[in-house]
Structures are given as C-alpha cells and as structure tokens.
Amino acid sequence: ILEDEDFAQEIQLHLSEVQQQEGHIRAQDIVDYVATPKVQERLGAKAKVISKWTVQWWLRKLDWRYGQKWNGMYIDGHERPDVVEYRNQFIQRWQEYEKRMFIYDNDGNIQYTPKGFPVAQAGRFCLILVTHDESTFYANDHCKTGWSHSSEKATPQPKGEGPSLMILDMLTSEWGRLQHGDNEARVIFKAGKNRDGYFSALDLLKQVEHSIDIFDDKTNGFATGLFMFNNAPSHQKQAPDALSARKMPKRPCQNWMHHKDGPRMRNSTFNSQSQEFYYCDNHPTMPGWFKGMETIIRER
C-alpha cells in the first residue's frame, strides 16, 4: 500500500497534523486513520484493517524512529534585529573595557598589558572583571558508577537529592576568589523552607555591597571593579519605587501602591519635565490618591 506515493504522502501529512496537535504520535493513530470510511474507500480493493505491528513497519519505512526525543537548543529570538543590535553594542562596549584590563592565558601568564589613556575615573585606569558565581551542592551528590566486587551485596541508597548547600562567590582573573585578609566575598547559604529560606535579590545586594568594600580595601583605589552577573530572575529585581504599568488602575485609587506595603511609585519624566503619579496631600477631594492611568496619560 505504501508503494502508492500519494497515499504515503497522505499518511505523512496526517502524522504531522497529529504531532502538531498532540505533541506525539502513536501507532494506533494510523490504525484508526486507515479504518475510517474515507480511507477504506480510497484504498478500494486493498482496503483492510491493519495491525499496530504493520503500522510500526510503515513508520520505519517512512523514516520515523521510536525513542526519546532529543533535547534541542532554544534559539528562538536570537537573530531578532533588536537582539542582534544589542549584542553588537555589547561587543563594542566590551572591546573598550578590554583595553583597560590585564588579559591572561590559561597558565596565568599575562598576554596583554593595558596602555594608559584618560578615563572618567581619575586615578583608576585599570579595570578588573569580577564575576558572580553560584553553585549548589546536594547531600546525596556522589558518583553512581564504579567498580564493585561480585561478592558485594547491594545496600539501600538514600532517596532524593537531600539537603542543598549554596556557595556564592566573586571571582577574578587577578586573585581568584575575592578576599582580603579575613574578609571574603563568599556566602554559604543553606537553602530551604525550614533552613535559611531562599536566596533573594536583597541577599544578593548585601553580598555585592560587602564585595565592593573588599575590592576597595584590596585595590586601595588603583583599580575599578567591573562586576558582572548572569540574567537570573533574582538579578532582575527592580527598586521598590520603580516605574511600572503592571496592575496600574485606570481610575484614581486611594492608598494604591505597586507593591503591597511598599513605597509610592517615583515620579516620571516626560519632555524633560517631572510628572507626579499621586495627587498632592492638600488636594480638595483626593489627597494623596494615585491618579490612575487615564489621568496620567491625559496629562501627557
């Protein structure tokens, strides 16, 4: 039956539709498809009910393979014009940064020594890259493969990964871990509901502030630290009074704050002029109320 190219193409098209709708296909899908009156009439003298074993043979012949799906790389959006432009701007900025850095090879030997030129930070020409590193270790982490004697008996193994330990540190090419005397940037955090809780943006800010103090003490003002972080959600927290249109009510609202029990949203700037989002405290009818999105837009 598959020698009929038109019928084989119909099978391929049906498989593609099923995979798009369901996310996967089964041999039973083809059994049911072939059993439909429309397909039986299409086959004519060749019409018959087929088994799943036959369908599995058909699928192999049509270049379908059974097994676990491969984990592909997510690339959607990487080539968007705005993303490409941002990357190009970042590369240009990084090339300017590198002119002020010592560059080392894998053995720690200096490959490039920066040559001085005027910079905004008077007396701080040298730039040192400081990267933030996070690693999580679990109590039951261990190698699960190895040699064992045939006489050894199996022993019960602990279930699950066990309690975790987060190690957060600041790393540099010049000194390795960022530390000076007895002070170090490393934080050991016991994550968990009944332990230290969960590492938040506030915890990160405390670590960064402490790391800057260590950096200043270590360099004594001869270098500028370039602190670099990845794009983790905890690194994207905005200030409590940051501008945001999320959950902003349309009409005036009393006691509205962007965050529960948080401060008022800061003033905005439009056409180089400051715009307040809250009525003044001596307003005749709505003292201190949030103006609402409609009023804010009308004022612009």
Per-residue pLDDT of 93-129, as tens digits, reads: 999 999 999 999 888 888 888 887 877 766 688 999 9
Question: pTM, whole model, 2 decimals?
Answer: 0.62
Most confident of 7-16, 171-180, 195-204: 171-180
Higher-pLDDT residue of 125 and 209 is 209
- Res. 207 pLDDT band, cuts 50 70 90: very high
State residue 40's pLDDT score. Answer: 82
Distance between terminal CA atoms of the chain? 70
Chain position carrying tokens 């699950």: 160
Taking only the tens place, the pLDDT of each residue in 78-94 is 788 898 999 999 999 99
Backbone dihedral region for residue 56 (phi beyond 0: left; psi -120 to 50: alpha; all else: beta): alpha
- The rounded mean pLDDT for the chain is 86
